[in-house]
Each structure stands twice: as structure tokens, then as C-alpha cells.
């Protein structure tokens, strides 16, 4: 079986992951299954690579998708929790949206913290 050739985007992602140890993941407001699944899947990959990971969302995980978070807890935003998560992280990854406003209150912390 052959390996998929490396693309510049894939190489950039691998370099980004290698440069950081403590990740904070988030997604859009009112997350759906693909948003939660993306967070949990990426968190799993990072943990396998020996990285520390927290997942923090502005909105609670809908009941239909809580099973996705059984392996990797998905925390729900509070001001204090977000401050703690940002203080601990050296990298932020926003999944399933490219719009800063769509991540809700979590976005308010981005400019206050030196995070990649």
C-alpha cells in the first residue's frame, strides 16, 4: 500500500503540531456532529502524539453527540475556564469554521493571549 504524497498543507500541519505541546481546540456555536467529531478526532491524534489537549466550546454538546466526547471531554465555556485553558495552551486550533465570530465567547480571549 502506498502512502499519500505529502502536500504543502499537510507538511505545514505536521510542522505546526511538532512546534507545540499544549493545544486548545474549539469549534462553532451550537456544534453539530461533524464539529464535535472533528474536535474529538483531532484531540485523539494529538494525544497519541504525546501532546496535551483541551477542548472548549462556547455551546454545550447536543445530547445526540455526547457519546463522541466520552474519550475526550468537551468542556463548556465559562470566563474562568477559558482563561485557564488559554493560559495553559501554546496553540489554538479552530475546527469546522473559519469565522472568528462563530466561536462565540471563546473569541474574546484570542487577542488577550499570546497563542499560535
pLDDT at 4: 66
pLDDT bin (cut points 50, 70, 90) of residue 112 is confident
Average pLDDT, integer, range 14-23: 97
Q: How far are the Cα atoms of 4, 32, 40, 68, 111 from residue 73, in angstroms, in the given order? A: 31, 16, 8, 9, 25
What are 30-82's pLDDT values in tens digits?
999 999 999 999 999 999 999 999 999 999 999 999 888 787 789 999 999 99
State the Cα–Cα distance between residues 72 and 101, nearest whole angstrom. Answer: 25
> 70 or 12: which carries more pLDDT confidence?
12
State the Cα–Cα distance between residues 98 and 54, nearest whole angstrom. Answer: 20
Amino acid at each position: 500500500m502506498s502512502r499519500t504524497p505529502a502536500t504543502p498543507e499537510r507538511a505545514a500541519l505536521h510542522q505546526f503540531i511538532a512546534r507545540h505541546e499544549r493545544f486548545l481546540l474549539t469549534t462553532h456555536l451550537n456544534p453539530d456532529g461533524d464539529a464535535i467529531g472533528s474536535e474529538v478526532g483531532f484531540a485523539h491524534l494529538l494525544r497519541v502524539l504525546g501532546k496535551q489537549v483541551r477542548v472548549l466550546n462556547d455551546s454545550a454538546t447536543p445530547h445526540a453527540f455526547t457519546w463522541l466526547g466520552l474519550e475526550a471531554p468537551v468542556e463548556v465555556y465559562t470566563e474562568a475556564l477559558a482563561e485557564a485553558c488559554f493560559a495553559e495552551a501554546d496553540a489554538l486550533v479552530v475546527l469546522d469554521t473559519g469565522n472568528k465570530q462563530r466561536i462565540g465567547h471563546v473569541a474574546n480571549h484570542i487577542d488577550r493571549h499570546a497563542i499560535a
